[in-house]
Amino acid sequence: MDSTEPTHQELQEIEAEWPLIAAELAVVDAEIAALQNGPYFCELDRRRLRRAEAQLTRQIAADAHSGNSLDGVA
């Protein structure tokens, strides 16, 4: 049977990986904001990017500690 719907197992894997995905998206959002501001990259932008990177680092460490696979993490 060929189905385009995700299986229950695939949905569980996505749910387990979602905190990492959200942390990566926060970094990308902060980087986009920095690029849009160009030479006017202010301290608030720097803090936003540092917080997002720190959250990503914490999530990667938590995943590694719990034994979750980190396949695809750049």
Residue 6 in domain: no
Do 70 and 64 touch, CB atoms closer than 8 A?
Answer: yes
Question: Does 3 reside within a domain?
Answer: no
Over 50: is that where the pLDDT of 74 sits?
A: no
Among candidate residues 20, 18, 15, 13, the one with its CA nearest the CA of residue 52: 20
Residue 11 lies in a domain: no
Residue 28 lies in a domain: yes
Helices of type H across 1-74? 8-37, 43-66
What predicted TM-score, i.e. pTM, was given to this entire model? 0.74
Per-residue pLDDT tens digits for 3-50: 789 999 999 999 999 999 999 999 999 999 988 888 888 888 899 999
- Tell me the residue range of the domain where 31 lies: 17-66
Alpha-carbon distance of 1 to 42, in angstroms, equals 54
